[in-house]
Structure 1
Amino acid sequence: MLVVGDALLDRDISGRAERLAPDAPVPVVGHARRDARPGGAALAAYLAAADGRDVTLVTALGADEASDTLRELLRDRVRLVEIPLRGQLSCKTRLMADGRPLLRLDDGDGRAGGATEAARAAVAAARAVLVADYGRGTADALRDALTRRAARVPVVWDPHPAGGPPVRGTCLATPAASEARRFAAAHTDTRTDTDTDTATPFDTRTDTDTGTGTDTGTDTGTEAPSGAAGRPIDDRPRNGERPRNSRRSRNGERPADAGRPATDAGRPATAPPHEPRGRLGEAAHDARVLLRAWDVTSVVVTLGEHGALLSHGETPLLVPAPWRAQGDPCGAGDRFAVTAAGMLADGALPEDAVRGAVDAATRYVTDGGAHALIHDDALATRPGVTADGDAEDDALDMARRVRAAGGTVVAAGGCFDLLHAGHVELLQAARRVGDCLLVCVNSDASVRRRKGGGRPVVPAADRVRVLRALECVDAVAVFDEDTPERLLDELRPHVWAKGGDYALSDLPEAALLESWGGQVVLLPYLDGRSSTRLVERAARPPATTSRGGHPDATADRLTR
């Protein structure tokens, strides 16, 4: 994969705030730890390399200390193709107290110089391109080469208000909702009455968010940046915007988004009567406007904790986040774009790429975001779980994190062929026992050995997906053996939960749990619920009708 864009250097000064300063009402941060990590397009390249991809980064670097630090961070991971940098590399330093940012200090106002022949050659040879534009000129310097390449290979473009628009033929543009508002507003004045979009199902949702927030991520350059339409960008926070929970965050670089209309060149923040209201309606409208204005194949508007909305020009596809992630969102936009670009490079459809990207960005935030990069060189983020082995890795990671935090790891297991109320009751009860629930699921081969040749009815991949959709389930792992001892030995849960229809003598894993101080517990079981009974009932012919016109209940009594 080729990544083209503006590299940044991100630094965190992290500590604990336990008191206020005596001379001013400000927190005192002690026990400080200083760390550096790649930022901007460099973070995108780093993430792609962590996914196992061969990555080349075309970016502007100079002779300053920050550029040298970034080169060292990328060494042996990413191939660098440098173009000249005029000025010093942008460096963003966050002061963190107890995992929360207190302030950010920005240094360096360097911009990309002209393109080099090596950079043009890298674009011409790329099999897939991700443009991570941070408004500092790298993408603009290579615009002609990117336009030519977009006609041949998938190009994903993550735009910036201070940069140019995606080149014609871009496969997927990935603006955040606040950015899409600004970009679309710049083209609204040129629209005629015949361009007015018709309402979609998303238009019926009203925006009830009345909170206010302060933008801590506004870029502070020496010149007022201009957007894709050449107009000055108003970087002040909007009414009702929140910097963390209502949008994706791209390395702390982007203004907050609560899905409200942006002000552009003095225009009021109230949408004209013909424009749809509500976050989803605005995103669908803006995506349609940008598809026409930019002449790209698809636009996906990222909605932070609400997921993403993909548009090809007709009825959009809404991809909700799999859960509401709590954590540092810094860099989640890069995680999203990298995953989407990688999946498109592998031949995935845009719909599948967006689903994978939403899952990856959500997990990235849950796992600690960009701040976690300095503690886990493997990055602990993946572009989506598609195989049993990946699912097992998820469960192992979850068990490790909960144990490290002093929590209680609970595991439960079974075939879960046809999920029913008895399963749900057991899993909900097991989750209440501890701090996370890991579900161990028999593979298809294991189920066949236990249940017979006609089982499972539902393949393992679908069973895993259904289980992971339950709020009480934190991770799922698949085992191929007849019993889960091998998997349990790797997970080492504190508690192994089974339904009350089992006897302890029926559980060979009980001795294994005791070997590391674990405990097997039996939980209340809803009598009469069984996947086997459901299969048998479905295989019977339809019930006959009695003389009174009611179904004959005789054949159904055994399974009630």
Structure 2
Amino acid sequence: MLDQTLSGSVGRISPEAPIPVLKAEARKDGLGGAGNVANNLSRLGCRVALIGVIGTDPEASLLIGLLEREGIESRILVTKQRCTTRKMRVVSARQQMLRMDFETTDPVDDSTENELIRRIMTALDEGPDAVILSDYGKGVCTPRLCRTLLDGCRERKVPVLVDPKGADWERYRGCTLITPNLNELCLAARRTIPNEDRDVEQAARELMNCFELDRILVTRSDRGMSLFSGESALHEKTVAREVFDVSGAGDTVVAVVTAFLAAGASLEEAVRAANRAAGFVVGKAGTYAISREDLLTELHQGARSASLSKVVPLDRARSLVEAWKSGGQRIVFTNGCFDILHAGHLFCLEKAKSLGDRLIVGLNSDASVRKLKGPGRPVNPESFRAMLLAALFPVDLVVLFEEETPLKLIEALKPDCLVKGGDYRPEEVVGSETVASWGGEVVIVPRIEGLSTTAILQSVLQKDAGGICQSGKGIPDTEAGGGGFLR
């Protein structure tokens, strides 16, 4: 559809009726609807083909020109039977005053439907990485067209993401991911749903069961978005900022999620990126397609907060692990005090991450470190130690524990691989029997000789006293295993 914005200034009230008179000054044409989804994908660097229906009117020519300008391949069907869908927003002083819709909402006729299906199947035979079904309730996404597309994607093992419309989700049965907003979720559930985590999850799971949906991503305005997959739930809080215009935010979400999935990212990573992207576009006037540079800047600015978000309580960690495992990802676990972070730690963390898809680090709390090391430790409090670990690229989650050993964490998270640094035999590692009971493995990472927190601290003390220490030689290592990894 074509998005048009008519802007100008208002200086008086009409003598004909109590309404403002706009002095029109400018008109801006843009891609809307599925065109906006395609534009987001194109600006993110994806190759995109767009299939839909337009009329033979002047608006159709404008729309085709915009697609060409943005490098989007048009496979749109032109018909005399319908007008080109157009939305015109009237704006003054950055305030939307009125919206006018020019559209046909009757279902397309049989010949148009058949030609659309033919074009869809041709596109599927070309091997796309993903397909988006953007339904705007304009009569194009008929039940037969949706069913044919979904069946074709399933046969070819192509993920299909759906941006739904209306109360009837039967046509979307079996899709990979569906992305309703809260109002659309209420329509499909046929009841009002409070915007609370528990209520949204209950409705989402009912619909997942009813329509055989693999996953649901619900966008929830100022409450962010919630992903439900299998038994897991992921709630991403909104990025706090001033909201200027929510037009097209849903298009941006489905586009970013699809782009990330097609590039091989996990669904959780895709959702987090989409949350940042949506927060960015709502601060823009009118419908705005986010660019690759925009998104990279957003993700960079959110890197610090993203690192801190890696530090989670056990319940949250368990939920995330369930989501990762349902997506076929391999979970690796290690633990330690990490009092003074050094190269030995990084070496072993990188090695641990290479053994799977996700690395979880169990971190001894301050009280736990004191039990193990004595009253003079830790040097750095748990909040600092957790922050540093979370900032490291190999680390996906940091979970604090109060006990002397991480056995409780291991039993709760059920990792596929347990990693320990130092001179141990696998059977000596805490949790080895537990991990083996569900078919997991234990891996010992050799330590880097001379690198340990204890050696570093003793070296500092000796230098302060006028002594010289080279590579920790001659300094007794009091840490278990002397590994420089786990302590």
Q: Distance in 1 between matches of 2:224 and 2:26?
A: 33
- Kept after mapping to 2: 8 A contact 1:150/1:168: no
- Kept after mapping to 2: 8 A contact 1:83/1:114: no
Does residue 354 of the first structure (1) align with residue 271 of the second (2)? yes
Query: Cα 1:286–1:325, aligned 2, differ >3 Å: closer, same or farther?
Result: farther
| 1:307 positional shift | 0.7
- Structure 1 partner of 2:234: 317
SS of match in other structure, 1:333: helix
Please list, as runs of the form range in 1=range in 2, the aligned pairs for 1:270-289 lying within 5 A after superposition: 279-289=196-206
Q: Distance in 1 between matches of 2:455 and 2:87?
A: 61
Q: How many residues align?
A: 314
Q: Select 2:42's aligned residue among 29, 46, 49.
A: 49
Does residue 87 of the first structure (1) align with residue 82 of the second (2)? yes
Q: Which amino acid aligns with 1:170?
A: C
Q: Distance in 2 between matches of 1:171 and 1:27?
A: 47
SS of match in other structure, 1:114: helix
Q: Distance in 2 between matches of 1:452 and 1:169?
A: 49
Query: Cα 1:138–1:168, aligned 2, differ >3 Å: closer, same or farther?
Result: same
Structure 1: gaps spanning 5 or more residues: 1-7, 186-260, 263-270, 272-276, 396-416, 419-450, 465-535, 542-560
Q: Distance in 2 between matches of 1:181 and 1:292?
A: 16
Q: Select 2:25's aligned residue among 23, 32, 35.
A: 32
Q: Distance in 2 between matches of 1:358 and 1:183?
A: 23
Q: Select 1:146's aligned residue among 130, 143, 150.
A: 150
Q: Select 2:131's aligned residue among 129, 132, 138.
A: 129
Does residue 158 of the first structure (1) align with residue 191 of the second (2)? no
Query: Cα 1:160–1:460, aligned 2, differ >3 Å: closer, same or farther?
Result: same
Please list, as runs of the form range in 1=range in 2, the aligned pairs for 1:180-191 lying within 5 A after superposition: 180-185=185-190
- Kept after mapping to 2: 8 A contact 1:158/1:174: yes
Does residue 332 of the first structure (1) align with residue 275 of the second (2)? no
SS of match in other structure, 1:139: coil
Q: 4+ runs of 1 displaced by more than 6 Å?
A: 451-461, 536-539
Q: Select 2:13's aligned residue among 11, 14, 20.
A: 20
Deviation string 1:238-288 (CA, Å, 9 cap, x unpaired) is: xxxxxxxxxxxxxxxxxxxxxxx44xxxxxxxx7xxxxx553333111110
Please list, as runs of the form range in 1=range in 2, the aligned pairs for 1:392-411 lying within 5 A after superposition: none
Query: Cα 1:23–1:98, aligned 2, differ >3 Å: closer, same or farther?
Result: same
- Kept after mapping to 2: 8 A contact 1:174/1:302: yes
Q: Distance in 2 between matches of 1:352 and 1:316?
A: 14
| 1:95 positional shift | 0.7
- Structure 1 partner of 2:207: 290
SS of match in other structure, 1:182: helix
Q: Distance in 2 between matches of 1:167 and 1:108?
A: 23
| 1:17 positional shift | 2.7
Query: Cα 1:142–1:292, aligned 2, differ >3 Å: closer, same or farther?
Result: closer
Q: Distance in 2 between matches of 1:59 and 1:33?
A: 29
Query: Cα 1:53–1:42, aligned 2, differ >3 Å: closer, same or farther?
Result: same
Segment of structure 1 superposing worse, 308-317 or 330-339: 308-317
- Structure 2 partner of 1:61: 54
Deviation string 1:497-555 (CA, Å, 9 cap, x unpaired) is: xxxxxxxxxxxxxxxxxxxxxxxxxxxxxxxxxxxxxxx999759xxxxxxxxxxxxxx
Deviation string 1:384-435 (CA, Å, 9 cap, x unpaired) is: 755xxx66xx99xxxxxxxxxxxxxxxxxxxxx99xxxxxxxxxxxxxxxxx
Query: Cα 1:369–1:319, aligned 2, differ >3 Å: closer, same or farther?
Result: farther
Q: Distance in 2 between matches of 1:83 and 1:163?
A: 25
Q: Distance in 2 between matches of 1:291 and 1:347?
A: 24
Q: Select 1:78's aligned residue among 72, 90, 98.
A: 72
SS of match in other structure, 1:138: coil
Deviation string 1:144-182 (CA, Å, 9 cap, x unpaired) is: 133221350211111011775453432211001111111
Q: TM-score, normalising length from structure 1?
A: 0.50
| 1:23 positional shift | 4.2
Does residue 462 of the first structure (1) align with residue 384 of the second (2)? no
Q: Distance in 2 between matches of 1:163 and 1:72?
A: 34
| 1:26 positional shift | 2.0
Q: Distance in 1 between matches of 2:52 and 2:195?
A: 38
Q: Which amino acid aligns with 1:32?
A: E
Structure 2: gaps spanning 5 or more residues: 309-340, 347-384, 394-452, 459-487
Q: Distance in 1 between matches of 2:292 and 2:95?
A: 20
- Kept after mapping to 1: 8 A contact 2:10/2:20: yes
- Kept after mapping to 1: 8 A contact 2:167/2:184: no
Query: Cα 1:114–1:23, aligned 2, differ >3 Å: closer, same or farther?
Result: closer
Query: Cα 1:332–1:355, aligned 2, differ >3 Å: closer, same or farther?
Result: same
- Kept after mapping to 1: 8 A contact 2:168/2:188: no
- Kept after mapping to 1: 8 A contact 2:35/2:50: yes
Q: Distance in 2 between matches of 1:56 and 1:459?
A: 44
Q: Which amino acid aligns with 1:145?
A: L
SS of match in other structure, 1:292: helix
- Kept after mapping to 2: 8 A contact 1:150/1:167: no
Q: Distance in 2 between matches of 1:347 and 1:379?
A: 17
Q: Which amino acid aligns with 2:262?
A: A
Q: Distance in 1 between matches of 2:167 and 2:56?
A: 24
SS of match in other structure, 1:63: coil
Q: Distance in 2 between matches of 1:16 and 1:354?
A: 39
Q: TM-score, normalising length from structure 2?
A: 0.57
Query: Cα 1:137–1:453, aligned 2, differ >3 Å: closer, same or farther?
Result: same
Does residue 98 of the first structure (1) align with residue 93 of the second (2)? yes
- Kept after mapping to 2: 8 A contact 1:81/1:119: no
Does residue 118 of the first structure (1) align with residue 119 of the second (2)? yes
Q: CA RMSD in A?
A: 3.6
SS of match in other structure, 1:327: coil
Q: Distance in 2 between matches of 1:362 and 1:355?
A: 11
- Kept after mapping to 2: 8 A contact 1:82/1:119: no
